Chains A and B, each alone.
Chain A
Amino acid sequence: MSLISKIKGDKAGTVLFLMSFSVILITLGIIQTLLFESLTFFQEVASERGWFSLEFNAEGIFSTSSLAALVLIVCLVFEIASWKDESFISKIPNSMWFPNKYVVNTILVISVLQFIFIKGFLLNIAILFAVLIWRKISGVEMKRQFGGHLEFTNTWRNLLGLFVFISLFDAFTMNYGGAIGEFFLQTTWNPTGSNLSFGVNSLLLTTLQVAFGALIIAVPLGVGTAIYLSEYAHPRLVAIVKPTLEILAGIPSVVYGFFAFIYIGPLVVELGEYAFANGWIDEPPNVMNPINGAIVVGVMILPLIASMSEDALRAVPNELREGSLALGATKIETTFRVMIQASLSGIVASIILALSRAVGETMAVTLAVGTIAVFTSNMFVPAQTMTAYIAQRVGGDLPFGEIGYLTIFAVGLYLFVITLCLNLLGNKVLSAYREAY
């Protein structure tokens, strides 16, 4: 302490800044780890399939990717030229910026046809960019003619540059994208054995089944609890229910998993046997299944939704409630037509954040859903979520650098991106409602 107390004024600020800078380092570390290992994974998959070659490939110049790169480069040149010098736009004849509708329709037809026959995904993106830039610059030209001014965004150009890079990379390294396509588009997940296949969709489907199943259970109960606690309940009841919800939130997920395994699983199996006897499902049910996982994850996210929604409801000014009651509305009408409307963004934010929590839940899901990756709509048989795959895969001894080790990073990156998007969205909605009151 004496060392720190010697530091005066701004020096302390610097030390504290370095401490908070570690947050950036951690984030970069996570992203770097996941991205680096995932790229290695795609390389490995491509080379396993015999697709991948980093050498310069002369035939690549004539591929759709290089055509796409060409279109994108032209777009980029236009973009930069128009950004550097505004008068550049006016040098080009007006007929090019404002063509008649036949030209537009022709381009549409070409892009559809090439998607069907050539299957050049990147070429499609290139044409999309060309059209967008065309529209943008023609809008600028119109503005210039009517006395507007130019506005450019960096994001747009960065995105364009990224696509140029991707399509060039794709053109010169043959079919590197095949591995990515297999990962995102196929449905068979078989990372061990002889018949390797890396279609993440079977994991994704189970994850979504569990997460949305959990929402179906948790949203009515959680929002109902929140409304009841903030509008109806006697303070003494609130004093009992709120700590209970806090305890529910504090119980470790592995204990929930144990609970699901020994209690909920057998209950769901009884239900499944009834369905099997009636011929609604074609396989006998198992103790481990996505319904089991959905129920237990629903119980887990219930306290989160309840407490966040209650906060949102309590933040609504009392004048709204009183005004509605004064107009003669009953309490339930006030609740559903005024209070919920007013706090809707807070409630939606709580649901989005709860969804992100449900997607990222690991131990309970591993114990409740099972460890067999299947792609099926039958929710009574064992399946595997993305998190459960990671937990199960690293459970055994994994040599670093093997393809089994690399798969978990690819799956982890996908998971990270999904939850990050959900969190960003949720926090944005949340800050919107915080600003409102």
Chain B
Amino acid sequence: MKDIDKLQKRNRTYRDLTERLGSTGLAVSGLIGLLFLGVLVWQIAEPTFISGEEGEIPAASESIPVTDYILKWDFANVDSETGELTTEPIILRLTWEDGGGEQSHDLQVNIIEEKGVTKDVNITSDGLDSEIVEIGRKTKFYLYSNLEVIVEVEQISGPVPSADSNGYPVVDSFVVSGDIHILSDDDGELVFQPLELVGYAVLFLLIIVMTWPKVGALNALSSLQPYRRFIRPVFYTISGMTLAISQGMFVAAALGAVCWALSGVMLNRILEGMERLQNIGRELSETSRLKHSISNRDGLLMWSRMLFVTSTIFIPLLIDIPFLTERYQDIFVPYASGIRAAFFGTIWVMLIAMIVSIPISVGAAIYLEEYAKPNQMTKLIQALVTNLAGVPSIVFGMFGLAIFVKQGGIGWGLGPSVLAAGLTMGVMAMPIIVLAGQEALRSVPRSLRESAYGVGCTRWQVTKDHVLPSAMPGIMTGSILAMSRIMGEAAPLVVVGATAMILFDPEPLAALSGGNAEFTVIPIQIYFWTQEADPAWHSMAAAASIALICLLVAMNSIAIVLRQHFRRRLNS
């Protein structure tokens, strides 16, 4: 008896021990993922804090083609009172070779405190049209060249463009830094068109009215009741005007126009709902009924909130990140480089991929879920979709190389261009979107379809009017996630032929019109910068990584917002 007790006791101790050790071990393995993420973020963020020393950055130097060149200094080097130089003079040496041999001209640039003062310099075969120019700080000036040859620009003395007021290079900072201006920029100029801002404000007010309908606001709106049929045409006209009078930023103007159009629709729907409410003899104070009598309130609110968040970035604010949107790559100076070309390349490639892949894959998903009979063909397509989603991305790149890039045979001969890259990426995204779309369509309750069939809808009507609207958020979430996945893919584009550096904005349709179709995207830029020997380039790769991750997080958060919205609606 004693022995058995002992045995049980020992056994119990052993079991307790395994229990504790086992759960601790499992917890540790779960937390190692967190640890990896922490190390990863730290290791990527750390090199973007550059601690530079005096004179570490060599003088800026660049070969420019025949077009123009933008320069900008952040700090003045002319004392505003005495008019004397506080640092070494900034001298740019322009050299080029023409018929009469090598020519070399010096250009002195004085930076004064006052902003907005600028003077452009023209380069002709005789030389420069002025030897000394005075430029305001933080102001661009252009070198225009009408020569047929490449001009080499080299700064031979003075502070480089990113230097502080003492002439020391400003490198002891985060590479991806920027300024945020609210309503007006540094020079006091407005960053928006009045109409855009008004549209933005109207949208904001309508979102508030629609989300929390209050009697006072509704009474004020009801004075518009008699003019209800004019509302939409008027708003659409204003929206068109917003686009027409826009100058400068096209994105803000387009967003303003969409704000106006959506506001028109929302106002119309609210008035319609109020009318419906009054027709059945209810008061406006019964706001909970009003919420139900506005048709498609959920959908409108979702779109308008998304539009509101997006336009907050573009209409009243001016977010100025030179690394992302202003600087091209510099051949010699790492810290003066940026990813403007890669940024726009990414945007164009994504846009083309979206246009190509989303309609076709959503159609395929609808076919497979709603229409397909369970026969061999359907099974084959389903199996192919599942397996294509697991094919390595580089194989898609080779597909793109042979079909889109190559000339002759079955090749379309687009060359290494944005268009070919976008098509390749679209093909790659297709299986992912099809799978996500199928998942979304499958989660639509069976009863919805059956009740729609029950009132005599055809299959297409059921799909178009009942199944698709319910599945739309799921499909959109899947599409956005697929897009954010292919946004970070570099392998197919290496194969398709993205170039290491370009000094202009890529054109999306250059492959068809015969222009210069070279392009690059952010992951490719990171890839090439990582391969450089100089650690300074690694800092730039880290900065580009952070920019890319931020873009991905922005896209994913849109997807998460959509998913939350969808979940709430299914639950309610």
Q: Which of A4, A220, A251, A257 contacts B549 (CB 8 A)?
A: A251
The complex places the Cα of A9 from the Cα of B460 at a distance, in Å, of: 5
- Decide if B399 is an interface residue (CB 8 Å cutoff): yes
- Decide if B434 is an interface residue (CB 8 Å cutoff): yes
Q: Which of A244, A366, A419 contacts B37 (CB 8 A)?
A: A244
Let me know if A251 and B40 touch, CB within 8 A: yes
Chain A residues within 8 Å of B497, by CB:
394
Q: Which of A5, A12, A245, A423 contacts B387 (CB 8 A)?
A: A423
The complex places the Cα of A419 from the Cα of B497 at a distance, in Å, of: 24
Q: Which of A232, A240, A259, A330 contacts B43 (CB 8 A)?
A: A259
Chain A residues within 8 Å of B29, by CB:
220-221, 224-225, 228
Q: Interface readout for B431-443 with A: 1 if CB under 8 Å, 0 if not?
A: 1001000000000
Q: Which of A9, A23, A391 contacts B495 (CB 8 A)?
A: A391
Let me know if B30 and A228 touch, CB within 8 A: yes
Query: Contacts A225-B29, A252-B490 known; A17 to B367 CB distance under 8 Å?
Result: yes
- Using a CB-CB cutoff of 8 Å, which residues 534-562 of chain B contact chain A? 538, 541-542, 545, 548-549, 552-553, 556
Q: Interface readout for B387-419 with A: 1 if CB under 8 Å, 0 if not?
A: 110111111111101110011101000000000
What residue of chain B has the Cβ atom nearest to residue A241's Cβ?
B30
- A128-136, A148-156, A168-176, A357-365 - interface stretch: A357-365
Chain A residues within 8 Å of B384, by CB:
23-24, 27
The complex places the Cα of A259 from the Cα of B549 at a distance, in Å, of: 13
A382 → B minimal CB distance (Å): 13
Q: Which of B406, B407, B526 contacts A255 (CB 8 A)?
A: B526
- Decide if A105 is an interface residue (CB 8 Å cutoff): no
- Decide if A387 is an interface residue (CB 8 Å cutoff): yes
Q: Which of A19, A241, A362, A420 contacts B31 (CB 8 A)?
A: A241
Query: Contacts A419-B392, A423-B387 known; A252 to B488 CB distance under 8 Å?
Result: yes
- Using a CB-CB cutoff of 8 Å, which residues 338-374 of chain A contact chain B? 353, 356-357, 359-363, 366-367
Chain B residues within 8 Å of A258, by CB:
44, 526, 530, 538, 541-542, 545
B339 → A minimal CB distance (Å): 13
- A65-73, A76-84, A186-194, A409-417 - interface stretch: A409-417
B340 → A minimal CB distance (Å): 19
- Decide if A15 is an interface residue (CB 8 Å cutoff): yes
Q: Main SS of the interface on chain B?
A: helix
The complex places the Cα of A357 from the Cα of B394 at a distance, in Å, of: 12
- A85-93, A106-114, A272-280, A298-306 - interface stretch: A298-306
The complex places the Cα of A430 from the Cα of B524 at a distance, in Å, of: 35
- Decide if B485 is an interface residue (CB 8 Å cutoff): yes
Let me know if A30 and B391 touch, CB within 8 A: yes
Q: Which of B33, B388, B431, B542 contacts A303 (CB 8 A)?
A: B33
What residue of chain B has the Cβ atom nearest to residue A7's Cβ?
B460
Let me know if B488 and A253 touch, CB within 8 A: yes
A25 → B minimal CB distance (Å): 10
A415 → B minimal CB distance (Å): 6
- Decide if B36 is an interface residue (CB 8 Å cutoff): yes
- Decide if A312 is an interface residue (CB 8 Å cutoff): no
Chain A residues within 8 Å of B410, by CB:
29, 32-33
- Decide if B381 is an interface residue (CB 8 Å cutoff): yes
- Decide if A125 is an interface residue (CB 8 Å cutoff): no
A48 → B minimal CB distance (Å): 22
- Decide if B112 is an interface residue (CB 8 Å cutoff): no
- Decide if B34 is an interface residue (CB 8 Å cutoff): yes
- Decide if B4 is an interface residue (CB 8 Å cutoff): no
The complex places the Cα of A110 from the Cα of B463 at a distance, in Å, of: 66
Q: Which of B392, B407, B430, B458 contacts A387 (CB 8 A)?
A: B392
- Decide if B491 is an interface residue (CB 8 Å cutoff): yes
Q: Interface readout for A22-41 with B: 1 if CB under 8 Å, 0 if not?
A: 11101101101110010000
Let me know if B526 and A254 touch, CB within 8 A: yes
A422 → B minimal CB distance (Å): 8
What residue of chain A has the Cβ atom nearest to residue B542's Cβ?
A258
Let me know if A331 and B549 touch, CB within 8 A: no
- Decide if A227 is an interface residue (CB 8 Å cutoff): yes
- Decide if A58 is an interface residue (CB 8 Å cutoff): no
Let me know if A252 and B527 touch, CB within 8 A: no
Let me know if B32 and A33 touch, CB within 8 A: no
Let me know if B394 and A13 touch, CB within 8 A: no
A residues contacting B by CB (< 8 A) are 4-5, 7-9, 12-13, 15-17, 19-24, 26-27, 29-30, 32-34, 37, 220-221, 224-225, 227-229, 231-233, 237, 240-241, 244-245, 247-248, 250-259, 261-263, 299, 302-303, 306, 330-333, 335-336, 353, 356-357, 359-363, 366-367, 387, 390-391, 394-395, 400, 408-409, 412, 415-416, 419-420, 422-424, 426-427
- 6 closest A-B pairs (Cβ-Cβ)? A252-B488, A360-B392, A224-B29, A19-B363, A20-B364, A362-B491
Q: Provide 29 A-B residue pairs closer than 8 Å at the C-beta atoms, listed in order of the A residue.
A: A13-B460, A19-B359, A22-B360, A23-B388, A23-B434, A33-B410, A224-B25, A233-B30, A237-B30, A241-B30, A247-B37, A247-B553, A252-B523, A254-B523, A255-B44, A255-B488, A257-B530, A259-B43, A299-B36, A302-B36, A330-B18, A331-B23, A332-B18, A394-B401, A394-B494, A415-B392, A419-B392, A420-B391, A423-B387
Query: Contacts A330-B15, A408-B398 given; 9 further ones with Cβ under 8 A?
Result: A12-B459, A12-B460, A33-B402, A252-B487, A255-B548, A262-B530, A394-B401, A408-B495, A415-B392
B residues contacting A by CB (< 8 A) are 15, 18-19, 22-23, 25-34, 36-37, 39-40, 43-44, 47, 359-361, 363-364, 366-368, 371-372, 380-381, 383-388, 390-399, 401-403, 406-408, 410, 427, 430-431, 434, 458-460, 463-464, 484-485, 487-491, 494-495, 497, 523-524, 526-527, 530-531, 538, 541-542, 545, 548-549, 552-553, 556
